[in-house]
Amino acid sequence: MTTAGTSVVHARAPGKVNVFLKVGAVMEDGYHDLATAYQAVSLFEEVRASPATDFSVEFSGSIDISGLAVDGTNLAIKAARALARKAGYRGGVHLDIEKNVPIAGGMGGGSADAAATLLACDALWGTSATKDELLAIAATLGADVPFSFTGGTAIGTGRGDQLSPALAKGKFQWVLALADFGMSTPEVYQELDRHRDRHAQDIFPAEHQPSVDANVLQALRAGDPHMLADVLHNDLQAPALHLAPGLGKVLQLGEENGALAGILSGSGPTVAFLVADADSALELQVALSASRLRVVRATGPVHGARLI
């Protein structure tokens, strides 16, 4: 680890795609019971931490950053404060965050900010926290923060924060269609609950415990995008499409232009298209861009939070 006294520490952490997401019943803590397969992708949040007497954050980046909280409600500030409390550190930190992961896009950008902040502040302050200690703090901040810290490919259960690594061979090619609006994760879950209330209750028994389809794990192990395309699944996709019907046209457009399959990432609205190879990714990017969509390419899996 970098020792205390360094003027600026730079860390980065990735966004993610949920290649599989099953949602079970609401647990006692108010969160839904989940089973998800995460894949970290090559869109990174860049966090630079410098010494300060208090806690502050400012943003830059390739996406619209207007409306981002810069007070104590910001997840990166919460991460820094949590580590300071744990370590008994009495100073503060100034965070410069370059955002490249869509905001409120279902790709865990805020979680990546928090994960990179934990690593950067640990190095800046010389707190020498272990990986397990940092992961324990990460789990208190949000369900996706531990995965952004570890990266790669993993299965998440509980709130999504109980992780077990999953083997993934090779690189998967993704084309991401970015929306010009965000979606509230709690609102999408509420819409899912309303949808289930409106339909046959016996389809979703209270004791239902979700699990990741074994075919998903097999496709990841094989590194086969065609196999994975056949088993992509997201329980939040239907409620998100009900709230934002226009996303259905985006999914259709991608699949008409060479995508093996499309899926909403997390609670949306980012649409992740899986393609066969890098050439197919470029062709789809061109086709979607011609339809006036904002599109980026990414690969996965990639590493989790790291010092740069």
H or E element that contains 102: none
Q: Is 111 annotated as a binding residue?
A: yes
Q: Is 278 annotated as a binding residue?
A: no
Chain centre to alpha carbon of residue 116: 13
144 is catalytic: yes
Marked catalytic residue, from 78, 99, 122, 144 = 144
- Whether 243 and 269 have beta carbons less than 8 Å apart is answered as no
CA atoms in the 13 A half-sphere facing the CB of 261: 17
Cα distances (Å, whole numbers) of residue 145 to 44, 62, 117, 156, 279: 14, 22, 11, 11, 32
Q: Is 15 annotated as a binding residue?
A: no
Pairwise CA distance, residues 207 & 5, whole Å: 52
SS3 8: coil
Q: Is 109 annotated as a binding residue?
A: yes
Q: Is 103 annotated as a binding residue?
A: yes
131 is catalytic: no
Q: Is 104 annotated as a binding residue?
A: yes
Which tokens go with 208?
């239902």
Pairing of strands 172-178, 271-275: antiparallel
Q: Is 107 annotated as a binding residue?
A: yes
Q: Is 105 annotated as a binding residue?
A: yes
Q: Is 158 annotated as a binding residue?
A: no
Q: Is 67 annotated as a binding residue?
A: no
Marked catalytic residue, from 16, 22, 78, 99 = 16
Binding site as annotated, residues for ATP: 102-112
Known binding positions: 102-112
What positions carry a catalytic annotation? Answer: 16, 144
